[in-house]
């Protein structure tokens, strides 16, 4: 064999499995390395030719590579929260066209380089929609950047002061979907408004942008501080855009009111139930005491005879406040004995009413203490 016909160094050394594993690692094909033997057995059993075997193997590698790319891309966007359409209550915002939102979730508007503008008062889910659309774009393997308007303007002004504005503008222009949240809450300076206009103008008919705002279009002049700039910006944004109208009552306010109402109902139910029965909870306390001065009718000392006090809690007791009035009215006062529960005898007044329901002469007595709510 001549030098021309010689095999490359390393081709004949070692077993084929070892060499194949080495080469696949060099080409950075971990999925092919992991699956090729399993797929080869399946293809051999099914009579699949070598071309289809190679195609199936490469498809597995591509699918796994896309999955890992998406897993890296989502954390890189730094979403303030992970939101999806599965958790959005469309019934809470009747003005929102659900079918239009479902169509947007397919992300075809990104391919068409169109914009999405969500308008509505605070608490109606505009940020939720923007986050869900951004997440859907990541899952479709699009590059996404998420920011709010005030933060973006601050970054642009800092970059301008540090002479790196062009670099930041190129980075923003490179993403397929730019999400700008909360435009309208903070008025922008003239310089900040001009920088924001430049970013959005560079994306016009080149890439997709999502903007959420609590202001109608006619009030955007309050934020951008220039009618001329506002008109030019709206002309570009709305030319190829889907506008979502999200007016309605604040969803966050509804949730807060609902929690308060449910808490009040639970407290009322506890108040009604507590005086009528002994609660199986820590507020139920069994304390044993004895009166050292008591004697039975035959003169025997009653020091070992316990007085059992069963505390029936009220609704306030369930929150850790045992509402007891002092038992110091008993003379001499009750003394704690060595009981496993080691309950301390009350020695001072606290808010609450104590009602003694039973007292049997001067010998062993059972006190039922009931707290009135």
Higher pLDDT: 203 or 327? It is 203
Looking at residues 117-131, what average pLDDT do you find? Answer: 93
The pLDDT, as a whole number, for residue 123 is 87
Q: What pTM value is reported for the model?
A: 0.60
What value, to the nearest 5°, has the Cα angle with vertex 42 and ends 40 and 47? 90
Higher pLDDT: 366 or 102? It is 102
Among 4-13, 20-29, 93-102, 106-115, name the one with the lowest average pLDDT: 4-13
- pLDDT > 60? residue 370: no
- Domain count for the chain: 3
Please check whether residues 224 and 98 belong to one and the same domain: yes
Please check whether residues 97 and 184 belong to one and the same domain: yes
Predicted confidence (pLDDT) per residue in 226-271, tens digit: 999 999 999 999 999 999 999 877 766 666 666 666 666 676 665 5
Confidence of residue 40 (pLDDT cuts 50, 70, 90): confident
Please check whether residues 109 and 234 belong to one and the same domain: yes
Confidence of residue 341 (pLDDT cuts 50, 70, 90): very low
Contact, 10 vs 19, CB < 8 A?
yes
Please check whether residues 55 and 30 belong to one and the same domain: yes
In a domain, 1, yes or no: no
In a domain, 296, yes or no: yes
Strand order of the sheet with strand 285-290? 335-336, 285-290, 307-312, 366-371, 354-356
Please check whether residues 91 and 219 belong to one and the same domain: yes
Please check whether residues 193 and 330 belong to one and the same domain: no
With H, G, I as helix, E, B as strand and everything else as coil, classify residue 216: coil
CB crowding 278-305: b at 16 or more within 10 Å, else e:
ebeeebebebbbbbeebeeeeeeebeee
What does DSSP assign to residue 2?
-
Please check whether residues 95 and 226 belong to one and the same domain: yes
How crowded is residue 243: how many other Cβ atoms within 10 Å of its Cβ? Answer: 13
Please give the residue range of the domain that contains residue 43: 16-69
The pLDDT, as a whole number, for residue 238 is 95
The pLDDT, as a whole number, for residue 335 is 39
The pLDDT, as a whole number, for residue 174 is 94
Looking at residues 307-332, what average pLDDT do you find? Answer: 36
Please check whether residues 50 and 91 belong to one and the same domain: no
In a domain, 331, yes or no: yes
Please check whether residues 49 and 103 belong to one and the same domain: no
Start-to-end CA distance of the chain, whole Å, equals 104
The pLDDT, as a whole number, for residue 50 is 87
In a domain, 11, yes or no: no
Please check whether residues 215 and 144 belong to one and the same domain: yes
Integer Cα distance of 9 and 194 in angstroms: 62
Integer Cα distance of 145 and 156 in angstroms: 15
> Among 41, 69, 97, where does a domain finish?
69
> Among 215, 249, 283, where does a domain finish?
249
- pLDDT > 70? residue 219: yes
The pLDDT, as a whole number, for residue 161 is 95
Across the chain, mean pLDDT equals 74
Please check whether residues 99 and 191 belong to one and the same domain: yes
Among 54-63, 281-290, 296-305, name the one with the lowest average pLDDT: 281-290
Looking at residues 276-294, what average pLDDT do you find? Answer: 39
Looking at residues 67-76, what average pLDDT do you find? Answer: 88
Please check whether residues 163 and 124 belong to one and the same domain: yes
Predicted confidence (pLDDT) per residue in 178-202, tens digit: 999 999 999 999 999 999 999 999 9
Any bridge partners for residue 128, and if so which?
none
Q: What is the CATH number of the domain that holds 188?
A: 3.40.50.300
């Amino acid at each position: 064999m001549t030098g021309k016909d010689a095999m490359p160094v390393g081709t004949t050394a070692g077993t084929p499995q070892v060499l194949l594993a080495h080469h696949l690692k060099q080409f950075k094909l971990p999925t092919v390395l992991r699956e090729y033997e399993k797929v080869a057995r399946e293809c051999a059993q099914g009579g699949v030719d070598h071309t289809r075997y190679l195609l199936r193997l490469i498809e597995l590698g591509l699918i796994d590579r896309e999955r890992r790319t998406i897993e890296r891309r989502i954390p890189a966007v730094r979403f303030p929260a992970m939101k999806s359409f599965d958790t959005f209550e469309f019934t809470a915002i009747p003005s929102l066209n659900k079918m239009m939102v479902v169509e947007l979730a397919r992300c075809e508007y990104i391919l068409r380089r169109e914009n999405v503008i969500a308008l509505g008062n605070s608490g109606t889910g505009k940020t939720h929609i923007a986050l869900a659309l951004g997440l859907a774009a990541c899952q479709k393997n699009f590059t996404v950047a998420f920011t709010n308007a005030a933060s973006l303007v601050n970054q642009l002004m800092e970059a301008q002061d540090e002479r790196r504005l062009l670099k930041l503008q190129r980075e923003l222009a490179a993403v397929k979907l730019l999400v700008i949240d909360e435009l309208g809450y903070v008025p922008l300076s003239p310089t900040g408004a001009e920088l924001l206009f430049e970013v959005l103008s560079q994306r016009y008919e080149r890439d997709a942008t999502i903007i959420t705002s609590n202001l109608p279009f006619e009030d955007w002049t309050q934020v951008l501080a220039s009618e001329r700039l506002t008109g030019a910006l709206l002309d570009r944004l709305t030319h190829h855009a889907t506008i979502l109208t999200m007016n309605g009552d604040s969803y966050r306010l509804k949730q807060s009111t609902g929690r308060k109402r449910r808490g009040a109902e639970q407290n009322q139910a506890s108040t009604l139930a507590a005086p009528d029965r002994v609660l199986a909870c820590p507020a139920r306390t069994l304390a044993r005491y004895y009166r050292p001065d008591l004697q039975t009718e035959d003169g025997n000392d009653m020091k070992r005879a316990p007085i059992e006090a069963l505390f029936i809690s009220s609704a306030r007791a369930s929150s850790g406040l045992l509402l007891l009035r002092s038992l110091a009215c008993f003379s001499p006062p009750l003394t704690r004995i060595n009981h496993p529960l080691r309950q301390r005898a009350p020695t001072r007044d606290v808010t609450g009413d104590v009602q003694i329901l039973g007292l049997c002469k001067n010998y062993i007595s059972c006190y039922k203490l009931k707290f009135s709510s």
